[in-house]
Structure 1
Amino acid sequence: MKEGKNVRKATVPVDMSSEQKEILGIISKRQLIYFIIGGSIIYMYTPFVFKLTSNVLVSIILCMIAAAPTAAAAIFLALYKVEKYHMNLDKYFLVKAQYRTQLGNWRKGR
């Protein structure tokens, strides 16, 4: 280095494993797909639940109760990250599901 000049070095932490937030800088495409699929599923069965009773208030409460598990599953799959493995929950489930197919009887080679 040259004398007389102050040279500063700084390391910038970069998380290479995180996904890019492409939709308005808030959510990624993967998360948007989960929200669209969850919303579509709720949209499909909510009219049937709404028609179960004649009372509007009871119907709205039943629709909210019926939609809660689907919405929770979509939000959980879209947003939760398994920190131990640095993976999103859906990717973690895929890896776990494929693990069983990779098990086999291993013998010493001939």
Structure 2
Amino acid sequence: MRVAKVPVDMSSEQKEIMGVISKRQLIYLVVGGILLYTYVPFVYLLFAKISWFIGAVAAMISATPVIFSIIFLGFVKVGKHNMNRDTYYWIVLQRKTQYGSWRKGRLEE
């Protein structure tokens, strides 16, 4: 029997925003920007009482995990499966709920 792998994403993601990023990536950037805009100034002001340089370094360090998450989930692909990271992890997390016992034949009542 011949087995052929069919990729999940049959066509590439459309780059709709000025031909550079897709809507999904734009959503990641906007949500990440809003998140950074809400807490980075607070971190800066908290540490700026010591020194403006320490405040700036603390703000950059606190922003690093969010920036890394945005880039990792929004812009990096899984090469083996040819799909985006967020889609891949969504499928992997849903796989656990799809286990069941399957029988061949008629359903007897």
Per the TM superposition, whether the score is higher than 0.5 is: yes
Structure 1 residue runs without a partner (length 5+): 1-14
Find the aligned partners of 1:71 and 1:108 in 2 and give their Cα distance.
47
2:97 maps to 101
State how 1:1-110 maps to structure 2 within 5 Å: 16-53=10-47, 54=49, 55-104=51-100, 106=101, 108=103
- C-alpha deviation, 1:16, in angstroms: 4.7
Residue-by-residue CA offset, 1:32-67 (whole Å, 9 max, x unaligned)? 100111111111111221122211111111100100
- What is the number of residues matched between the two proteins? 95
Residue identity (%):
46
Q: Secondary structure at the match of 2:40?
A: helix
Q: Report the residue type matching 2:38 in the other structure.
A: M
Q: Secondary structure at the match of 1:52?
A: helix
Larger radius of gyration: 1
Q: Report the residue type matching 2:96 in the other structure.
A: R
TM-score (norm: length of structure 1):
0.78
Structure 2 residue runs without a partner (length 5+): 1-8
Residue-by-residue CA offset, 1:44-93 (whole Å, 9 max, x unaligned)? 11122112221111111110010011001001111111121111101001
Q: Report the residue type matching 2:21 in the other structure.
A: I
Kindly report structure 1 stretches of 4+ aligned residues shifted beyond 3 Å: 107-110
TM-score (norm: length of structure 2):
0.79
Q: Report the residue type matching 1:96 in the other structure.
A: V
